[in-house]
Amino acid sequence: MTRLWNDPASFADDMVDGFVRASGRWVRRVPGGVARSTRSANPEVALVIGGGSGHYPAFGGLVGPGLAHGAAMGNLFASPSAHQVESVIRAAEQGRGVLLSFGNYAGDVLHFGAAQDAVRRDGIDCRTVRVTDDIFSAPASEQERRRGIAGDLTVFKVAGAAAAAGYDLDGVERVALLANARTRSLGVAFTGCTLPGAEAPLFTVPEGKMAVGLGIHGEPGIEITDVPSADGLAELFVRHLLDDAEVPNGASLRGARVVPILNGLGSVKNEELYVVFARVAALLEDAGATIVDPQVGEFCTSFDMAGASLTLLWLDDELERLWLAPADTPAFRTGSVDAGDLEAIAAEDSAEEAEDSLPPATEESRRAAARIARALAAARDVIDAEAEELGRIDAIAGDGDHGIGMQRGTLAAATTAADLARRGAGAGTLLTRSGHAWSDRAGGTSGAIWGLILTTLGGHLADDAEPTASSVAAGVSAAARAVMDFGKAALGDKTLVDALVPFAATLQERVDDVVPLAEAWRAAAAAAESAAQATAHLMPGMGRARSHGTKALGVPDPGAVSLAHIAKRIEAVLAEELAPETATA
């Protein structure tokens, strides 16, 4: 278990503070993560990597000459928000374009994608390469659906070396895609991991058993087997990774040159890994492969998870040259980087600029903002009460942190809303800024979606006019459309959308019938609750649960359930506070 923390809610921030203090030779803190503390003599394409915290040395530990230029660092096991990623991009870019690279997880895809769109609007050429190395997360024929685990390192290292060598953005993107196409990984776990302050691990493995095909966020394995010997584990790894379907196009096993990376996930120590690696090396050589620059240690962890993974990078001449090129970062060093070519960059103030000024607002809009703040406080309270159960149902086919993420998001939104209401913000500003706070603090898929819901609704509730039932219903309907456009989920995919769409449709129908908002909301909340429970009968079509198929059957989607809880609790706030004359269109 994780034993040392101050406040679990601030663990990631505290960790980054300590990391930057210990690693100032390589990194400086910037809003949303870290960027290099030095600059090369000649401008380079900037490689920006990132993901949730809890995986050190991924991702901040890989920032430095010859590797990444910046890392966006989200909360524990939660992707950084779009705002945080954008901040790191702007701190790292040098005028030659930016390559974003990260593991293929829904939250990261959403947030990094939104950040890419934002900087592109300002003329920054920005591309993305998702890492998809985990062979158990999707068939070989669907590599684009696979998630990224320890194979992140091979893609990041090749792309960073290409940038250092002066490649243009097209070239850096090309070799990153090639490295990803030639990287395969498989992981196993003997125990789950426990987040700071948590009383139980995100998932458990029966005593004497091993989960095969786990994810680095606590997603359960695809198969459960007996724990093998060290040689047995090596044989399992190599058998799966050398399967004919997993040999990359253009490569052949006999005569291949491969980089093996045996990665410890947190509690399996190097001595154990070396015992496993002795057999891995023998098996690879027996199969006709030549081992190049093997790596054994911790490269992508999962807090205190007892587990390991094996990654193979299948080289060609260009990939081998880039893999062996010098790099100097806090956690990965190879060759010799010429420090004489580096220029120090002054540290930036780590505090984000506060949005002190508020747009003018009418008294009616300020009163509505105060009610919204109380509604967000009610959402925080109901999620606090339900967080453990939300985590339990998420752990069955996901990674078990949905409740924790929702707690972070609702707390940030409620705190921000209370402050803005006290300062006299209008309804639109309060919702928009509370949505940004939710997204920034929660990260992950839920943070992206709830941030979008609040900001979209905020765009329909002006600061200079009194909100009406019609404007609220229109805002909720627009939010539902925006969520589907953003995340690409549809009805029946077993996501929050399955509750949000019936909620929005029912609210709009009742408001169109000139029903008071409190009454319309009551009907919509009931529709959301019914729809959320009905997701138990659906197979997941998107998200991490998709990999676990029938494990998700019989269990409702946690995102849909949390939306239903929030809608129900806000119904009570509306019933208590909305007067009839302000509740109708």
What are the residue numbers of the active site? 217
State the DSSP string of 526-555: HHHHHHHHHGGGSPP-SSGGGGGGGGGTTS
Q: What are phi and psi of 74, to 5 degrees?
A: -85, -175
Rounded to an integer, what distance in angstroms lies between the CA atom of residue 185 and that of residue 499?
36
Rounded to an integer, what distance in angstroms lies between the CA atom of residue 224 and that of residue 188?
9
Rounded to an integer, what distance in angstroms lies between the CA atom of residue 544 and that of residue 29?
31
**To which residue do tokens 């669907």 refer?**
142
What lies within 8 Å, CB to CB, of 127 at 6+ separation is: 97, 98, 99, 100, 116, 169, 173
Are 550 and 539 contacting, i.e. CB atoms less than 8 angstroms apart?
yes
The bridge status of strand 98-103 relative to strand 46-53 is parallel
Q: What are phi and psi of 294, to 5 degrees?
A: -65, 150
Rounded to an integer, what distance in angstroms lies between the CA atom of residue 406 and that of residue 436?
14
**To which residue do tokens 């539902």 refer?**
480
Are 71 and 92 contacting, i.e. CB atoms less than 8 angstroms apart?
no
Nearest alpha carbon to residue 240 among 187, 314, 180:
187
Rounded to an integer, what distance in angstroms lies between the CA atom of residue 233 and that of residue 527?
49
Nearest alpha carbon to residue 528 among 546, 506, 557, 551:
506
What lies within 8 Å, CB to CB, of 129 at 6+ separation is: 99, 100, 101, 155, 159, 173, 176, 177, 180
3-class DSSP assignment, residue 12 = helix
> Which neighbouring-strand residues pair with 262?
296, 310
